[in-house]
């Protein structure tokens, strides 16, 4: 015999309260409870509050940038080899937990195909390593907020180019384009790329032995610690707002790995306030 709605509600009340208490117990200051390892996707993204950003909220322009730097520079640094393991969690394909989702192509590929051969995925530095020559020791070269799995050959085509519109189609990355001095990611990755570059600019201000990374509006930066092209990145931030996948990896990096956040995923409007 089916039970009444009231009886059903009573039966669920205790387990729900217990689950809520458990969540409160594991909450990280400034963020909602972290998703369990191995879970990704919309369901894993939980409510977020601004406690983490308290010293920055209400500020604008350079004082906002400065306040955010003071907040996000407090982080755990991981080794370059640990990046492999981290990316298998932060970039897990929500539709297939055995795979990661690759930047620039959207391809879903087996987590076990990490490496340097054709058909593998590797660790793409969205802020090109050579722009500031920071290498791969623990620091900007291992900062998960701008590291993504990418196809080995697509990563090679991107190289250390600045980001801008235009060029010819990139083989293996539908919707992405490149010419002699710039790379244009597919539409779904444009905002992600913009927010990663601008995170790096705020996180690295020359205060901890690493170069002061900054965006500029050129596409011929070479090895200087600048990355372009700012006017285009600002457009991309508007065109491709943060989605569940991007917010989830921000949560995981904060809760599990580095204990700092990308402010522009939580507050995309801060891009316009600073730049």
Q: Interface with Ca ion by CB under 5 A: which residues?
A: 188, 191-192, 201, 205, 212-214, 240
Q: Are 216 and 230 in contact (CB under 8 A)?
A: yes
Nearer to Ca ion by C-beta: 37 or 241?
241
Nearer to Ca ion by C-beta: 113 or 188?
188
CB of 174 to Ca ion, least distance (A): 15
CB of 212 to Ca ion, least distance (A): 5
Q: CA–CA separation, 164 vs 182, rounded Å?
A: 6
User: For the CA atoms of 138, 264, 91, 160, what is the dihedral angle to 10 degrees?
Assistant: -60
CB of 215 to Ca ion, least distance (A): 9
Q: Are 46 and 252 in contact (CB under 8 A)?
A: no
Q: Are 142 and 83 in contact (CB under 8 A)?
A: yes
Nearer to Ca ion by C-beta: 94 or 120?
94
Q: Are 239 and 174 in contact (CB under 8 A)?
A: no
CB of 213 to Ca ion, least distance (A): 5
182: helix, strand or coil: strand
Nearer to Ca ion by C-beta: 49 or 208?
208
CB of 6 to Ca ion, least distance (A): 44
215: helix, strand or coil: strand
Nearer to Ca ion by C-beta: 124 or 192?
192
């Amino acid at each position: 015999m089916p039970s009444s709605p009231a009886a059903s509600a009573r039966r669920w009340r205790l387990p729900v309260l217990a689950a809520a208490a458990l969540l409160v117990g594991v909450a990280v200051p400034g963020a909602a409870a972290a998703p369990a390892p191995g879970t990704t996707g919309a369901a894993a993204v939980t409510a977020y509050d601004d406690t983490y950003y308290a010293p920055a909220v209400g500020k604008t322009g350079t004082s906002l940038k400065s306040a955010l730097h003071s907040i996000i520079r407090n982080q755990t640094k991981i080794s370059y080899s640990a990046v492999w393991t981290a990316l298998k969690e932060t970039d897990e394909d929500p539709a297939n937990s055995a795979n990661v989702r690759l930047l620039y192509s959207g391809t879903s590929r087996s987590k076990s195909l990490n490496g340097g051969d054709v058909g593998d995925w590797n660790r793409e530095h969205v802020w090109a390593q050579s722009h500031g020559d920071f290498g791969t020791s623990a620091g900007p070269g291992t900062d998960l907020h701008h590291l993504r799995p990418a196809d080995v050959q697509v990563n090679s085509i991107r190289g250390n180019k600045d980001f801008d519109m235009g060029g010819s189609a990139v083989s293996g990355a539908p919707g992405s384009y490149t010419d002699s001095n710039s790379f244009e990611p597919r539409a779904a990755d444009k905002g992600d790329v913009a927010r990663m570059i601008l995170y790096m600019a705020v996180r690295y201000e020359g205060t901890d032995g690493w170069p002061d990374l900054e965006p500029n509006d050129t596409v011929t930066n070479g090895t200087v610690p600048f990355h372009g092209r700012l006017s285009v990145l600002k457009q991309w931030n508007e065109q491709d707002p943060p989605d569940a996948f991007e917010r989830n990896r921000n949560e995981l990096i904060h809760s599990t790995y580095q204990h700092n956040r990308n402010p522009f995923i939580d507050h995309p409007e801060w891009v316009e306030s600073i730049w």
